[in-house]
């Protein structure tokens, strides 16, 4: 018997409280103001590879007080907005590389829990700001239902998990784990307490210090079933389409910030008695950066408009991620180059955007993976 499914972003039954255009503008300004008050990228500079990668104070403000922890979730748990608001907020967070678990907890784990339709208590806790992490990635980092690294078996009538899940975003900072595991009926989803004796969570060093990852090993770990009959694969696939758009919006915000930073620098920096922004080679590079950013913006807007149709959203999400990941990498790299010698220093923010760009480009599968999926969706 399969569980009842909901569509948290694509359908009216699961969508959070709708926002007007004015309310969206207010939301954007609120997020931007809170991030500015937190010092922008200063929050990232306080992290290192061995420290928690979630700024608990900033997440308390954004997640609990502003209500972002419930973004795009069902109204029954206090959810607000839909994919448009998710993209808006992720773009703003991407501008400052804010080390908060919106993508990992609210979007990834939240959309999956909402899609299960059987996790009301866990979803309410997540919507209140409690961090949840999603363990679904195959060994190559992408979502492949035929290569799920965790297996489920039954023991004394209860599900038990074994295996090792790599690339668990904010896994070391999570109070609960949502895990995809393969069994006799296919892939299903389970809720696991990271404090269970059968669970080992190991924080791993990451290139992007603002986004923690962990390897989670399961050895006879007790779990609570969220789906049955192999229904988990479809839930994860639908949730990931939302997450891919959210990640693309974040990449857009980071790329825009890197472009703005570069333009300000080449306008102010002088060489041979003139602004270096007046040199033709620099102008052409900045124009190329702008084209990448505007292409990314178009891809995100197109994906948001496709939210009402699961098929259209899947295609648009693949396009957005295939474009935005590479666009952010290009803009961040040129940002470092055009800042010259200072761009290569640890004291400058350019390397923080470069790190995030490189990390995000492979986070949910690289551009080649999404192009391959796009080809399949279009029947090529």
Identify the CATH number of the domain in which residue 319 sits.
1.20.140.10
| Whether residue 164 is found in the same domain as residue 250 | no
DSSP 17: B
CB of 155 within 8 A of CB of 220? yes
Residue 34 CA to its chain's centroid (Å): 19
Positive/negative CA dihedral, 111, 112, 118, 122: negative
CB of 75 within 8 A of CB of 18? no
- Please tell me the predicted confidence (pLDDT) of residue 8: 56
Tallying the residues shown for the chain, one arrives at 380
- Please tell me the predicted confidence (pLDDT) of residue 1: 33
176 domain-assigned? yes
- Please tell me the predicted confidence (pLDDT) of residue 46: 80
The whole domain housing 285 covers: 234-377
Instruction: Provide the domain count of the chain.
Output: 3
Q: State phi, psi for 221 to the nearest 5 degrees.
A: -75, 135
The parts of the chain modelled with pLDDT lower than 70 are 1-15, 156
| Whether residue 274 is found in the same domain as residue 324 | yes
Q: Which residues share a beta bridge with 191?
A: 178, 224
Q: State phi, psi for 285 to the nearest 5 degrees.
A: -65, -45
DSSP 80: B
Q: Output the domain CATH number for residue 208.
A: 2.40.110.10
Residue that finishes a domain, picked among 232, 264, 294: 232
Q: What is the pTM of this model?
A: 0.94
Q: State phi, psi for 271 to the nearest 5 degrees.
A: -145, 130
- Please tell me the predicted confidence (pLDDT) of residue 167: 95
Q: Output the domain CATH number for residue 34.
A: 1.10.540.10
> Residue 201 in 3-state DSSP?
strand
> Residue 48 in 3-state DSSP?
coil
Q: Which residues share a beta bridge with 192?
A: 177
328 domain-assigned? yes
| Whether residue 187 is found in the same domain as residue 141 | yes
| Whether residue 242 is found in the same domain as residue 370 | yes
Residue that finishes a domain, picked among 232, 261, 292: 232
- Please tell me the predicted confidence (pLDDT) of residue 9: 61
Question: Which residues fall within 8 angstroms of residue 178, CB to CB, at 6 or more apart?
Answer: 109, 112, 113, 122, 132, 133, 134, 135, 189, 190, 191, 192, 226
| Whether residue 287 is found in the same domain as residue 359 | yes
Q: What is the rounded distance in angstroms from the CA atom of residue 176 to the CA atom of residue 192?
A: 6
């Amino acid at each position: 018997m399969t569980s009842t499914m909901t569509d948290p972003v694509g359908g009216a039954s699961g969508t959070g409280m709708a926002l007007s255009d004015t309310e969206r503008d207010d939301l954007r300004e609120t997020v931007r103001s809170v991030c500015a008050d937190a010092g922008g990228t200063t929050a990232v500079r306080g992290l290192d590879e061995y420290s928690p990668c979630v700024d608990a104070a900033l997440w308390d403000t954004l997640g609990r007080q502003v209500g972002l922890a419930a973004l795009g979730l069902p109204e029954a748990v206090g959810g607000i907005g839909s994919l448009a608001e998710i993209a808006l907020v992720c773009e703003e967070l991407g501008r400052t590389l804010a080390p908060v678990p919106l993508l990992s907890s609210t979007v990834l784990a939240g959309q999956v829990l909402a899609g299960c339709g059987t996790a009301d208590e866990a979803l309410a806790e997540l919507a209140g700001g409690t961090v949840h992490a999603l363990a679904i990635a195959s060994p190559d980092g992408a979502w492949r239902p035929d290569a799920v690294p965790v297996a489920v078996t039954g023991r004394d009538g209860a599900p038990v998990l074994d295996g090792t899940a790599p690339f668990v975003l904010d896994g070391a900072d999570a109070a609960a784990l949502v895990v995809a595991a393969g069994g006799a009926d296919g892939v299903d989803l389970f809720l696991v307490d990271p404090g269970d004796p059968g669970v080992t969570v190991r924080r791993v060093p990451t290139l992007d210090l603002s986004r923690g990852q962990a390897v989670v090993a399961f050895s006879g770990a007790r779990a609570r079933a969220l789906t049955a009959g192999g229904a988990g694969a479809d839930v994860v696939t639908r949730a990931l389409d939302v997450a891919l758009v959210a990640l693309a919006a974040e990449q857009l915000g980071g790329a825009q910030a890197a472009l703005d930073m570069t333009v300000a620098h080449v306008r102010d920096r002088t060489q041979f008695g003139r602004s270096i922004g007046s040199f033709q080679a620099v102008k052409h590079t900045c124009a190329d950066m702008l084209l990448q950013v505007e292409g990314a913006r178009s891809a995100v807007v197109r994906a948001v408009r496709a939210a009402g149709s699961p098929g259209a959203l899947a295609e648009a999400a693949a396009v957005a991620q295939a474009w935005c990941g590479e666009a952010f990498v290009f803009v961040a790299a040129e940002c470092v180059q055009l800042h010259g010698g200072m761009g290569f220093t640890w004291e400058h923010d350019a390397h923080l955007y470069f790190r995030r760009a490189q990390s995000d480009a492979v986070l949910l599968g690289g551009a080649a993976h999404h192009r391959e999926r796009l080809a399949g969706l279009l029947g090529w």
